[in-house]
Amino acid sequence: MVASLGYFVDIYDLVIFSIVRVKSLADIGVAPDKILDEGSYVINMQMGGLLLGGILWGVIGDKLGRIKVLFGSIFLYSVANFVNGMVHDVNSYAVIRFIAGVGLAGELGAGITLVSETLSKERRGYGTTIVAMIGLLGAVAAAYVGKYDWRTAYYVGGGLGIVLLLLRMGTFESGMFKNIHDKDVSKGNIIMLFNNRKRFFKYMCCILIGAPLWYVVGILITQAPEFGKALGATAPLSAGTGIMYTYIGISVGGVGAGLLAQFSRSRKNTMYIFLLLSIISVMFYLSTKGITPSQFIWLCFFMGFAVGYWATFVTIASEQFGTNIRSTVTTTAPNFVRGSLIPINFAFNALMVHFGRINAGYFMMIILTGIALFATSQLRESFDKDLDYVEDEELNMTT
């Protein structure tokens, strides 16, 4: 439950800017024709913070413990969000979103690592499914709060972080981590992910399987007003509404993906099914000419359900590596996926110049899904894998 609530706050903050983007930027004086560019700048800074924070908290989790990350990350996030509600210019806005991104980067990875190491291999899939189900509803809360004053939305996020900090006082450390804490093994050594070719390739595959999800949320839904115009929408499409229904779909899809993996005893097959479903859902979205607000809501739910494999993807990353670098992998992988929105944004904008918004949307989804399917095929099935082992600096693993 602690991990679930942490993920709830994590998702709340990740999407709150997308929800209040237009309103908040206009309020601090950004001209209407500059909102898209300045919004891309701010969200890129936020994603950059997630990249840095993913490395920072991942290493801390393996060196000092998973609990240290749960406390440190939420404290930094809470302070940043309170300050975020006081900004009056774009540069300050971007810097504070960067700091908030650093703070939030540790939440999901540390939570999933703790759940994976605490529950038995037969039941850990249920644990991560619960984390996804409760955590992703943070987007629904953000969409509701974001309808009101945008500054208040950031203050609420900071307040949620403080409450969660107090709730974590009774949490306990992972037994697997405690077993290796005093042993002479390399812990939190991120270089280990790059100094072995097979390990590096496996790590990159773990990251690439999650890229389509963040493209759907970060571009197709966040830029819903612009996509609505390109599709000839009968009324302006709301990014806030889209995000709310997309994350309701992601929450339902997360439960579906988790249960499917449990019953089929295969996380890889589950990923194949949901990746193929996601590309079908996006094709429906981008081909709906004259889209109405009600159609938009249902399509957002469908796309959200189809990319509801987020917790399954993070669980796969956690199960691929030993205890001494598990937190590093589980924390950096989802944040590198989120950070991939930066190059995805650049690539999408470049394609849009030549092919238009709708065609660029098709091309990016096809490319990202193809890469994700290939990456999934290169990973070993990890459903029944025993996680009580460590990675050797030179070899793949030792028991």
pLDDT in tens, 349-366: 999 999 999 999 999 999
| Contact criterion met (CB below 8 Å) for 19 and 146 | yes
* List of the chain residues with pLDDT < 50: 395-399
Q: Residue 398's pLDDT is what?
A: 44
Q: Residue 123's pLDDT is what?
A: 79
| Contact criterion met (CB below 8 Å) for 69 and 57 | yes
180 located within any domain? no
Beta bridge partners of 390: 398
Number of structural domains the chain divides into = 1
224 located within any domain? yes
Beta bridge partners of 55: none
247 located within any domain? yes
User: What is the SS3 assignment for the chain?
Assistant: CHHHHHHHHHHHHHHHHHHHHHHHHHHCCCCHHHHHHHHHHHHHHHHHHHHHHHHHHHHHHHHCCHHHHHHHHHHHHHHHHHHHCCCCCHHHHHHHHHHHHHHHCCHHHHHHHHHHHHCCCCCHHHHHHHHHHHHCCHHHHHHHHCCCCHHHHHHHHHHHHHHHHHHHHHCCCCHHHHHHHCCCCCCCCHHHHCCCHHHHHHHHHHHHCCHHHHHHHHHHHCCHHHHHHHHCCCCCCCHHHHHHHHHHHHHHHHHHHHHHHHHHCCHHHHHHHHHHHHHHHHHHHHCCCCCCHHHHHHHHHHHHHHCCCHHHHHHHHHHCCCHHHHHHHHHHHHHHHHHCHHHHHHHHHHHHHHHCHHHHHHHHHHHHHHHHHHHHHCCCCCCCCCCCCECCCCCCCEC
391 located within any domain? no
Residue 350, both tokens: 């470049």
382 located within any domain? no
CATH number of the domain that residue 225 is part of = 1.20.1250.20
| Contact criterion met (CB below 8 Å) for 278 and 332 | no
Q: CB neighbours (10 Å) of residue 182?
A: 7
Q: Which of 390, 388, 327 is nearest to 186 (CA)?
A: 390
Q: Residue 176's pLDDT is what?
A: 67
User: How far lies 376's CA from each of 104, 207, 208, 257, in Å?
Assistant: 26, 10, 8, 15
Beta bridge partners of 398: 390
Q: What is the DSSP letter of 220?
A: I
354 located within any domain? yes
Which pTM was predicted? 0.78
What are the tens digits of pLDDT across the range 16-36? 887 888 888 888 888 888 888
266 located within any domain? yes
| Contact criterion met (CB below 8 Å) for 297 and 245 | yes
Q: Residue 69's pLDDT is what?
A: 81
Residue 74, both tokens: 């939420």
| Structural domain for 316, as ranges | 2-169+185-377
What are the tens digits of pLDDT across the range 214-252? 899 889 998 888 999 999 988 888 887 888 888 888 888
| Contact criterion met (CB below 8 Å) for 363 and 220 | no
Q: Residue 360's pLDDT is what?
A: 93
Q: Which of 150, 157, 179 is nearest to 23 (CA)?
A: 150
393 located within any domain? no
